[in-house]
Structure 1
Amino acid sequence: MKTVKRILKISVSVFLTSVLAVSVYTCASVPKLSRDTKQVIDTVMDEPIPEIVKGTTGYAHSQEWKIWYERIPAGDTIKGTVLLIMGAANDALSWPRDFISHFTDAGYQVIRYDHRGTGLTESKEGWDRKNPYTLNDLAKDPIAILDTLHIQKAHLVGVSMGGMIAQVASIKQPERFSSLTSIMSSANVFDTLLPSMNMEILPKMISAVIKHGMFGGKEGKIKLQVVQKK
């Protein structure tokens, strides 16, 4: 019995030490915010929430799902369309405004949308985890949006899981897309011919999510966006 208690004490001590070490590493590895940045965040927290959906919105029907989208107009002359596909656990509003403005200022209308069960796109009641939708299913959503808006071709930009969806959509219907840009994504993470993941950046990203995203509240969400841009 004494041996069991001793083992339990050692196990608890090791666990607590590990948690403390991870906490210290998490706080230390996340880039520091400048005093000016913190002041800007404090100011933003006290101001009314700005309206960030300024384009034309609607729904496209894809496999019995109503997919919410926003169509952001370009300047005077429209050179083409850029369709943005966000990654997992993020909605369309996660695309930075200055990122979008680079396209609209250059004459391209921008379309962004929410994935199934995310943001303003509907969630299915009684959804069965044993019968999930796949990347092939998700790749039908951007095509459905283009069909709804009667757009023949678009430039695809996808980040993380969105990059995977963009690749599948381009393979399925290459005639619908003028170009493909895949950010922070891969066709096969186990392909040894591709460059490996940057193991210096990944821990910092995870640490930032833990420090600001999980425990920082609303202010932490703002800090997370700032840190991730660094």
Structure 2
Amino acid sequence: MNTISEYLMSDSVINPILDAGYLPHPLIRLGIRRQLSQRLQEIATQSQTAAYESKMKYVELLRNRPIAIETKKANEQHYEVGTGVLKGMLGPNMKYSSCLYEKGNETLEQAEIAMLELYVERAELKDGMNILDLGCGWGSASLFFASRFPNSRITSFSNSRTQKEHINTVANSKGLTNLTVITGDAADYEFEPESFDRVVSIEMFEHMKNYHLLLEKVARALRPGGKLDDAIRRSPTLLPVFAFGSAPVVG
């Protein structure tokens, strides 16, 4: 009986039903609440000591994992989705990550640009630098950096064929010759040692597992005095969750 129940609740059964729109929204919301409740019960702890022990067990688990897992499945789900689909959902810069609404009444395009400007400020980017955009998505940051800093060399790293095609198409249309797109898997790809003054990674680290191995890889790619800017860790909204939450996450 348990085997039948598990099968009926598996992704292979549930996802096609959800995608087809057969379930009414109230039922979907009920399912979401149920899953959230189950997750809260899983991470609930009796004491700070128990919370710390749970966290450190998770840290140890990550240390024994590869840099990333199930990358092929992630590609199939959304990174290899046709660019036309994303053009109907994203802003004109195709920013596949957070935007910045400083006043709250900005257009999507204005919010895209505001966040891209913030990356430049926080990563202390300057013209003439060699910059790696690690996990570049559809190239919003890479293309922005290439336009802003014509004397810099921008390297976009993506695991998606369709992303590379889109970035190259836009770069060619804008006459940008200082941008190169590399397609590969961050888990096993090795960059040339001491190649970059800055490595910018925008909302990619949360998908990784073994941060130690990943940071070693980034360190090898950076020149002496180079810097890594991980946008997800600089978020005022997300940082307390990573640093102070009792859930088993790396702080």
Greater relative CO (CA pairs within 8 A, separation 6+): 2
- Give the TM-score normalised by structure 1: 0.32
TM-score, L = length of structure 2: 0.30
Greater strand proportion: 1
Kindly name which structure, 1 or 2, has the bigger radius of gyration based on alpha carbons.
1
The structure with the largest helix share of the pair is 2
